[in-house]
Structure 1
Amino acid sequence: METNYTEAERYYQAHKRVKEIKEFYQHLTVYLLCNPIVIIVNLMTSPDYLYFWYSLLGWGVAVVLHGLKAFDRFPFFSKQWEERKIQEFIDKEKGSKKEWE
């Protein structure tokens, strides 16, 4: 029975990972479609002041961070860090229950 649980858990994790990557590509697509519009509007309405850089840089940083997280390349808060933190909270919870008993 343990094998089925492990297999189900692996499937769930793989499904979750695919969903994260898909959401990143959607985010990237919206970024690539919207920013040319922002650039055109900026150049047509106020060519003396180029404010589209704020959108490109600000949103671009968000896209890069999203990509790092989706592809598990984020130097901080990696899966190993998450597992350590989860275990830490579980151990802390067990310790506090023993104090009450």
Structure 2
Amino acid sequence: MSTQDQDKLEKAKAQLRKVKIFYIHLIGYCIVIGLLLYNLYIVAGPYKNNIISLNLSVMVAWTVFIIVHGLTVFKKRSIFKKNWEDRKREQYLEQEKEEHTFWE
């Protein structure tokens, strides 16, 4: 096996590890968010407002972290890929060209 193939294999293993860690993070997130939502449902007593605000702040912060983690792991898989951008650019150039030729 050549060094290039070995480098590609190592990169693939590293990317697979990142995806696996993200999914573990996502599972933990879903479990904890479910428990926090249940806690919001059953909370009562004199510290109800403090508990609710703490739970909501944890939910918001962790949601932001999971979104950022997902974006860093899947950054190469964007919705608007380079070939899509190129096609749209050509389409707009064609439209502009047609508009100019109509009046000339």
TM range (shorter): 0.5 to 0.7
TM-score normalized with structure 1 length: 0.62
**Which has the greater radius of gyration?**
2
C-alpha displacement of 1:41: 1.9
Q: 2:31 aligns with which of 29, 33, 37?
A: 33
- Name the CA distance, whole Å, in 2 between partners of 1:66 and 1:40: 25
- Output one character per residue of 1:18-75: Cα deviation in whole Å (capped at 9) or x when no partner: 11011111111100011111121233223852232212110001000100111125xx
The secondary structure found in structure 1 opposite 2:61 is: helix
Partner of 1:19: 17
For CA contacts below 8 A with separation 6 or more, give which structure has more relative contact order.
2
Q: 1:56 aligns with which of 54, 59, 71?
A: 59
Unmatched tracts of structure 2, length 5 or more: 77-104
Unmatched tracts of structure 1, length 5 or more: 74-101
Partner of 2:8: 10
Partner of 2:69: 66
Moved over 4 A (4+): none
Aligned residues: 71
User: What is the root-mean-square deviation in Å for CA atoms of aligned residues?
Assistant: 1.9
